[in-house]
Amino acid sequence: MNAIVVKNLEKTYKVYQKKEGVFASLKGLWRRDYKTVHAVSDVSFSIEQGEIVAFLGPNGAGKTTTLKLLSGLIFPSAGEATVLGYVPWKRENEYRRRFSLVMGQKNQLWWDLPAQESFRLHKEIYRIDPQQYTRRLDELTSLLEVRHLIGQPVRELSLGERMRMELIAALLHKPDVLLLDEPTIGLDVVSQRRVQEFLKYYQVEQKTTVVLTSHYMKDVEALCKRAIIINQGRIKHDGPLSDILDRFSNYKIMDVQFDGDDMPRDFSQWGEVIECEAPHVKLKVPRNKIPEILTNLLSRYRILDVGVQERPLEEVIAEVFTEQKNEAAQAQNEKNVLHSTSD
Amino acid sequence: MIASLRTNWIILTTSVEERLVYRGDFVFATLIRFLPIVTQIFLWGAIYGIHTSSPIKSIKSYSYHEMVAYYLLVMVGRAFSSMPGLANGIANDVRDGTIKKYLIQPIDMLGYLFWARVAHKLVYYLVALGPFILVFYLCRHYFAGWPDAFTITVWMLSLMMAFLVGFLIESLIGLIAFWFLEVSSLIFIYMMLNYFLSGHMIPLDLFPEPLSSWMQMLPFKYLAYFPGTVILGKYSHQELIFELSIEVVWIGVLFSLNRIAFQRGIRRYSAFGG
């Protein structure tokens, strides 16, 4: 069964364009120029109950806008969406009791009070059964290893500890849908890992539907099987994470360890050198050429070890974004040229 | 119903706890508010010329003693009706996105702020009650005597309602932030207007006509002037009932305006930003 269904969703904003300088500011007092920004254009997808899906994209791609639409914070300009059968932007209390949105940069806890006070308030706001509340609080605080900290004012906690408290606050009412916007932003490696491990365990255990945006590919790789790549408000890819590599990466990384100094001087006929420290070399080679290159190398040189790996996901995705940006720029240029010739 | 009462109770108690975190600052701020009354006593003493050979008997209908009593009572009224930081708090929540919390959670923002404010006031009274009793005891000779039970009841009601009117006006100004992100200058203008429209500066009937009558038609007088003059016996019983009824109507109007502004504001917020 689908937990989230999104059809042709669009969101456009009008943004005030302020020109530089005092004079322009004064002019802006009575006349303002607005630019229309297409934050999300014609986005459609559906997510099964219990699935965990990553939203990938550069800054300003439309990921957060999509999450805001799904949590009912904003209305779409066009299109429709249902989450657990509810239209999010109607903001019915029944819906609001069944999902949670965690934003890595936003606080829901009371700053000056211990987290347990905020939890107690959540218990009332979400009408959580007292016994269930005690059990869940116990479970979550021990899973996230913050049980000893819930009596300490939130402002005295470290960022990582606070984020874990935020997660607990978001999960106390056992949401069916969990929307996570950059949950590990600004955390150190250890805290990041802990949050990842927790989310993974929790999601499997509770079968919660999770939509996650993150800039950290490590988060995504650790948690998600499926990824939706969004750029300039449009979906560029929707499918298994592993497909991204097949689809967008024509290269693999080859690690070769030669026996002694007997190694080629020039690798350009095989691939691009990433790292070369004799007798060890790291090459970026076309996918389809790997058998050929291997046979070639093995027949001519003495080789101790060979490894072939996929390129890091991060790199591939960065490449996809850059390419698309260039394509868009090129299209824009062509349009401009057409314009100027037709003038 | 019971569940939402429980929620409000928890909001209330949590806010009380939060309020008590910065005890020192709070006690200090509470005590410093008694300072202006001392200057008022000296100022009006000089105006009436009480230390001269021919002191003024009365200004409009206020004797010197009544005037000082008025300021003492206005101080009580304002302890209920003033809402420091409410409008600014709402405006900040809109601007920095804290408002998202109220949209995502199954909770009503204005209701939440209301109960948090009740908590603030309760903690304030806890600290201020002692000093208030002391000040009124020291100034007891400015009062003519105890008014009748009916007047005292109306006075207490007028204080509760002063709280409501104050809350609703300030929250309405805060909600303007949905349209204009920067409302601090607007809040400043409101504070200035409030200072004399509410009777905080001088009793409203000291203003010349027709200004005085016009001012009495606005809801601001319920913030200070009305709770101040009830005890001074400026109204007959019938007039008191009439005034209270008008105040109830104002509360209804302000409440509806708040609801409309909130609904529209959220719609606008959802359409433009978020």
**Residue in A13, A110, A126 nearest the CB of B272:** A13
Nearest to residue A39, comparing CAs of A75, A65, A74, A8? Answer: A65
A193 by Cβ neighbours in 10 Å (0-12 / 13-18 / 19+) ranks as middle
| Burial state string for A38-70 with b = 16 or more CB within 10 A and e = fewer than 16 | bbbbebebebeeebbbbbbbbeebbbbbbbbbb
User: Would you state the structure tokens that stand for residue A237, as one six-digit string?
Assistant: 């890819």
**Boundary (domain end) residue, out of A225, A245, A265:** A245
Model confidence pLDDT, tens digit, residues B138-189: 989 898 888 899 999 999 999 999 999 999 999 999 999 998 877 888 889 9
Select the more confidently predicted residue: A246 or A132. A132
Same domain, A49 and A93: yes
Task: Say if residue B107's pLDDT is above 60.
Answer: yes
Same domain, A228 and A255: no
Whether residue A249 contacts residue A312, with contact meaning beta carbons closer than 8 Å, is answered with no
CB contact, 8 Å: A121 with chain B? yes
With beta carbons under 8 A apart, name residues in chain B contacting A28: none
Residue A79: pLDDT band (50, 70, 90) is: very high
Q: Check which CATH number belongs to the domain holding A107 and give it.
A: 3.40.50.300
Interchain contact, B104 vs A97, CB within 8 Å:
no
- Look-up: residue for tokens 């004012």? A153
Interchain contact, A73 vs B100, CB within 8 Å:
yes
CB contact, 8 Å: A152 with chain B? no
Given this model, what pLDDT does residue B69 score? 93
What distance in Å separates residue B69's CA from the closest CA in chain A?
A: 39
Same domain, A170 and A306: no
Task: Say if residue A343's pLDDT is above 70.
Answer: no
Nearest-angstrom CA–CA distance, B269 and B102: 13
Given this model, what pLDDT does residue A322 score? 79
Same domain, A234 and A264: no
Task: Say if residue A113's pLDDT is above 70.
Answer: yes
Nearest-angstrom CA–CA distance, B69 and B162: 18
**Position A194 in a domain:** yes
Interchain contact, A72 vs B104, CB within 8 Å:
yes
The yes/no answer to whether this complex scores an ipTM above 0.85 is: no
CB contact, 8 Å: A251 with chain B? no
Mean pLDDT for all residues in chain A: 86
Cis peptide before A264 (omega within 30 of 0): no
Given this model, what pLDDT does residue A339 score? 60
Number of domains, chain A: 2
Task: Say if residue A337's pLDDT is above 70.
Answer: no
Same domain, A172 and A297: no
Query: What does the pLDDT average to over B248-258?
Result: 97
Interchain contact, A13 vs B7, CB within 8 Å:
no
Interchain contact, B104 vs A101, CB within 8 Å:
yes
Interface of A with B in 77-116 (CB under 8 A): 89, 91, 93, 96-97, 100-101, 103, 106-108, 110, 112-113
With beta carbons under 8 A apart, name residues in chain A contacting B11: 121, 124
Interchain contact, B11 vs A74, CB within 8 Å:
no
Nearest-angstrom CA–CA distance, A94 and A86: 9
**Position A323 in a domain:** no
**Residue in A97, A100, A121 nearest the CB of B10:** A121
**Residue in A106, A113, A153 nearest the CB of B100:** A106
With beta carbons under 8 A apart, name residues in chain B contacting A97: 106
Given this model, what pLDDT does residue A119 score? 93
With beta carbons under 8 A apart, name residues in chain B contacting A71: 104
Same domain, A224 and A131: yes
Nearest-angstrom CA–CA distance, A73 and B136: 50
Mean pLDDT for all residues in chain B: 89
A117 by Cβ neighbours in 10 Å (0-12 / 13-18 / 19+) ranks as buried
Given the DSSP bridges, would you call strands A234-240 and A226-231 parallel, antiparallel or unpaired? antiparallel
Select the more confidently predicted residue: A13 or A43. A43
With beta carbons under 8 A apart, name residues in chain A contacting B101: 106, 108
Query: What does the pLDDT average to over A76-100?
Result: 93
**Position A225 in a domain:** yes
**Boundary (domain end) residue, out of A245, A272, A290:** A245
Q: What percent of chain A has pLDDT over 70?
A: 97
Same domain, A103 and A153: yes
What distance in Å separates residue B7's CA from the closest CA in chain A?
A: 5
Whether residue A102 contacts residue A125, with contact meaning beta carbons closer than 8 Å, is answered with no
Same domain, A300 and A282: yes
Q: What percent of chain A has pLDDT over 90?
A: 36
Nearest to residue B159, comparing CAs of B215, B226, B218? Answer: B226
What's the domain range around A287?
A: 250-310
User: Would you state the structure tokens that stand for residue A289, as one six-digit string?
Assistant: 């050429």
Residue A266: pLDDT band (50, 70, 90) is: confident
Query: What are the residues of chain B with a beta carbon less than 8 Å away from any beta carbon of chain A?
Result: 3, 6-7, 10-11, 14, 17-18, 21-22, 97-98, 100-101, 103-107, 267, 269-274
**Residue in B18, B103, B267 nearest the CB of A112:** B18
Given this model, what pLDDT does residue A323 score? 75
Interchain contact, B14 vs A121, CB within 8 Å:
yes
Given this model, what pLDDT does residue A81 score? 94
Task: Say if residue A282's pLDDT is above 70.
Answer: yes
Task: Say if residue A341's pLDDT is above 60.
Answer: no
**Position A193 in a domain:** yes
- Measured in whole angstroms, the distance separating CA B29 from the mean position of its chain's CA atoms is 17
- The one-letter amino acid code at A308 reads V
Interchain contact, B274 vs A74, CB within 8 Å:
yes
Q: Which of B15, B94, B99, B104 to mutate to test the interface with A (most CBs of A within 10 A)?
A: B104
What's the domain range around B115?
A: 2-272
Nearest-angstrom CA–CA distance, A304 and A65: 51
User: Would you state the structure tokens that stand for residue A81, as one six-digit string?
Assistant: 């969406």
Whether residue B213 contacts residue B124, with contact meaning beta carbons closer than 8 Å, is answered with no
Query: What does the pLDDT average to over A198-223?
Result: 88
Same domain, A212 and A295: no
**Position A15 in a domain:** no
Given this model, what pLDDT does residue A340 score? 56
Whether residue B197 contacts residue B218, with contact meaning beta carbons closer than 8 Å, is answered with yes
**Residue in B18, B98, B274 nearest the CB of A113:** B18
Given the DSSP bridges, would you call strands A272-277 and A280-286 parallel, antiparallel or unpaired? antiparallel
Who's near B169: CB < 8 A, 6+ residues apart?
A: B190, B219, B220, B223, B254
Task: Say if residue B63's pLDDT is above 60.
Answer: yes
Query: What does the pLDDT average to over A173-177?
Result: 94
Same domain, A164 and A125: yes
Least confident of A282-286, A332-336, B169-173: A332-336
Q: Which of A74, A120, A171 to mutate to test the interface with B (most CBs of B within 10 A)?
A: A74
With beta carbons under 8 A apart, name residues in chain B contacting A107: 98
Query: What does the pLDDT average to over A320-338?
Result: 74
Interchain contact, B14 vs A110, CB within 8 Å:
yes
With beta carbons under 8 A apart, name residues in chain A contacting B272: 13-14
HEC per residue, chain A: CEEEEEEEEEEEEEEEECCCCHHHHHHCCCCCEEEEEEEEEEEEEEEECCCEEEEECCCCCCHHHHHHHHCCCCCCCEEEEEECCECHHHCCHHHHCCEEEEECCCCCCCCCCEHHHHHHHHHHHCCCCHHHHHHHHHHHHHHCCCHHHCCCEHHHCCHHHHHHHHHHHHHCCCCCEEEEECCCCCCCHHHHHHHHHHHHHHHHHHCCEEEEECCCHHHHHHHCCEEEEEECCEEEEEEEHHHHHHHHCCEEEEEEEECCCCCCCCCCCCCEEEEEECCEEEEEEEHHHHHHHHHHHHHHCCEEEEEEEECCHHHHHHHHHHHHHHHHHHHHHHHHHHHHHHC
Query: What does the pLDDT average to over A243-253?
Result: 81
Same domain, A115 and A213: yes
Nearest-angstrom CA–CA distance, B169 and A5: 42
* CA distances (Å), origin A156, targets A19, A161, B96: 42, 10, 22
Residue A101: pLDDT band (50, 70, 90) is: very high
Task: Say if residue B22's pLDDT is above 80.
Answer: no
**Position A19 in a domain:** no
Q: Roughly what angle, to the nearest 10 degrees, separates helices B149-175 and B184-197?
A: 160
Query: What does the pLDDT average to over A115-130?
Result: 92
Interchain contact, A113 vs B17, CB within 8 Å:
yes
What distance in Å separates residue B96's CA from the closest CA in chain A?
A: 10
What distance in Å separates residue A175's CA from the closest CA in chain B?
A: 12
Whether residue A40 contacts residue B237, with contact meaning beta carbons closer than 8 Å, is answered with no
Which residue of chain B is at minimal alpha-carbon distance from A65?
Answer: B274
Residue A38: pLDDT band (50, 70, 90) is: confident
Whether residue A110 contacts residue B143, with contact meaning beta carbons closer than 8 Å, is answered with no
Select the more confidently predicted residue: A144 or B271. A144
Residue B124: pLDDT band (50, 70, 90) is: confident
Number of domains, chain B: 1
Interchain contact, B7 vs A125, CB within 8 Å:
yes
Between chain A and chain B, how many beta carbons pairs sit less than 8 Å apart? 71
Q: A57's torsion region: left (phi>0), alpha (psi -120 to 50) or beta?
A: left
Same domain, A240 and A261: no
| Burial state string for B95-132 with b = 16 or more CB within 10 A and e = fewer than 16 | eebebbbbbbbbbebbebbbbbbbbbbebbeebbeeeb
* Residue B211, helix vs strand vs coil: helix
Given this model, what pLDDT does residue A338 score? 61
| Total-model pTM | 0.83
* CA distances (Å), origin B126, targets A106, A286, B16, B123, B133: 33, 76, 11, 5, 12
